[in-house]
Amino acid sequence: MHTNADTPKTTESHSRFMLLFLLFTALVCGAMIMVVEVLGSRVIGPFFGVSLFVWTSLITVTLVALALGYAIGGRFADRRGTADYLYGIILLAGLAVLLIPVYKMAVLKLCVPLGLRLGAFVSASLLFGPSLFLLGCVSPLLVKIAVREMKNIGRTVGGFYAISTIGSVIGTVVTGFVLIAYLGVNSIFHLVGLSLCLLALGYFILIRRAWWMTLGLIVVFLFPSGQPGVLPSVQSAYGQQVSLIAHHDSYYGSLKVIDYQDQRVHNRDMLIDGLMQGSIDVVSGESIEAFSYFMTLLPYALNPDMDNALVIGLGAGLVPNWLEKRGIQTDAVDIDPAVFDFAERYFNVRLSGRKVKQDARYFLQNSLDVYDLVVLDAFTGDSTPGHLVSLEALQLVEKRLSDQGILAVNLIIDSSANNYMAASVVKTLEQVFDQVQAFRTVGPQQSPGIENLALIAYRGEERIPDESYLNPNSIAHQVRRQVMDNIYRRFEFPDDTAAIILTDDYNPLDVFDIATREELRRRILEHSEWDILGYSG
């Protein structure tokens, strides 16, 4: 005759296992929320940038989606607060994440006409809102299920939120320090979606014994990852073959190397988050961007006896390459190790000096070296590192210069606008250096607009460039005329241009320079191949 002697022990064991599974669920879902949020910038960054406004959009969408999930999930928990519904929602969240790589390009193309700010917000909402909302519904359901069998409700709720927060910390750290460096963005989304689906299916199969759900395992493992592994190559509207030849998502940005080729030319660009960092003629290896010659040729003509140089912001390495070819030992500082690798492999950069892979401000604070030339070119145009152009930072640069040393700074400006922030950089430089000169790097025949502004600063009396060192033949033919036309022609801000001294305490570059960045992004999108720009592997 059957007895129920073992039933209480079995029930207790089952409850304990279920509680542990719920805690594990809180950990996983907390981690996945942060992975989706951190990855968001890598998805919309090539189209809308990685500026303060883009991060504001991502954080806002995350908080709103989670808040709605908490509210609606709480109401749902009171009506349908069972584990079946909980893991059904997690399964839907996993499928929503798996869909992100599939439809992201369609969403981004749809949102581009909305502009930088609204486009970033709407695209983030459409891409990440559904999965984050569903994951927000998880917490109320977890608590509802757990407290049924727990006497200490406060301890239970606190425990779940603590575990979820620990999961968020793990998700943030692992994404930032591991996943982005070793996996493509699409692959990470695929991993996140797969993890959520497996968590849900694990409940249904292992706990509910719904063996037919094993079919779901086959479905999720066969789910497409969104983009093939083959790097894209497309025909541009101008008849050039545009090919992505290298791509890497580093800790600090999305790096791409793109070739433009037709019967006449073969050029190569390096992009970081969609913004051009340098361009060469592949045949000659020379820069075809005028700004690089203002960073090299002009300081060289002002101080032809220079022996060494420091370049802050390596980019494609065109500036240090030019200097090294003239026997000037050059140290390079860049926060992103992947930039050094790309510059060497695809732009044939060879440095005799040090390759310093750390933040430039930290380097300036700790270095005792003195240089004849410092080139400050750490500005992508999408975001200006304010900590490198504050009064305190420029005073550190000044200490690293020899008596005849020169500082060359590359900025992105809109020469048709007021340029409050660019004028503020100049005013801040004037607090440190006796001479500060600005040069447009486009030809005088070109209309004012988005362009590079070269700033030259040094101590002492004004110097006249030695014309014997201004050799036009050392300039790539595409930009030779505009360099030589402008190298004696200074740029002057209008008299009514407001300006402030930028300090570590008050440095609102990201806020007041947004119009320039929006226009720069608009031009990038207008002249770029979107399938290559949005590729994330």
Question: Tell me, what's the pLDDT at 229?
Answer: 61
Q: How confident is the model at residue 13 (pLDDT cuts 50, 70, 90)?
A: low
Q: Is-contact 353 332, C-beta < 8 A?
A: yes
Q: Does 174 have pLDDT greater than 60?
A: yes
The pLDDT of 418-439, averaged and rounded, is: 92
Residue 383 has a pLDDT of 67
Dist CA 186 CA 104 (whole Å):
10
Query: For 374-417, what is each residue's pLDDT tens digit?
Result: 999 987 656 677 889 999 999 999 999 999 999 999 988 887 77
For the cut 90, the answer to whether the pLDDT of residue 248 exceeds it is no
Residue 61, CA distances (Å) to 134, 174, 193 in order: 13, 22, 19
Q: Which domains does the chain have, with CATH numbers?
A: 7-221 (1.20.1250), 289-529 (3.40.50.150)
Q: How confident is the model at residue 156 (pLDDT cuts 50, 70, 90)?
A: low
The mean pLDDT of 155-179, rounded to a whole number, is 80
pLDDT tens per residue, range 80-100 = 878 888 999 999 999 999 999
Whole-number mean pLDDT of the chain?
86
Tokens of 64: 């709103």
- Average pLDDT, stretch 510-526? 78
- Euclidean distance between the first and final Cα of the chain, in Å? 63
Q: Residue 311: which of 385, 233, 245, 407 has the closest Cα?
A: 407
The highest-confidence range among 190-204, 241-255, 306-320, 479-493, by mean pLDDT, is 306-320
315-349 pLDDT, tens digit per residue, is: 999 999 999 999 999 999 999 999 999 999 999 99
Per-residue confidence at 134, pLDDT binned at 50, 70, 90?
very high
Helix (H) or strand (E) holding 245: strand 241-249
Q: 401 in helix, strand or coil?
A: strand
- What confidence tier does 1 reach under pLDDT thresholds 50, 70, 90? very low
From 295-309, 334-348, 520-534, the region with the lowest mean pLDDT? 520-534
Q: Which residue has the higher pLDDT, 508 or 2?
A: 508
Question: What per-residue confidence (pLDDT) applies to 159?
Answer: 75
Residues 30-65: pLDDT tens digits? 889 998 988 888 888 888 876 667 888 899 999 999
pTM for this prediction: 0.83
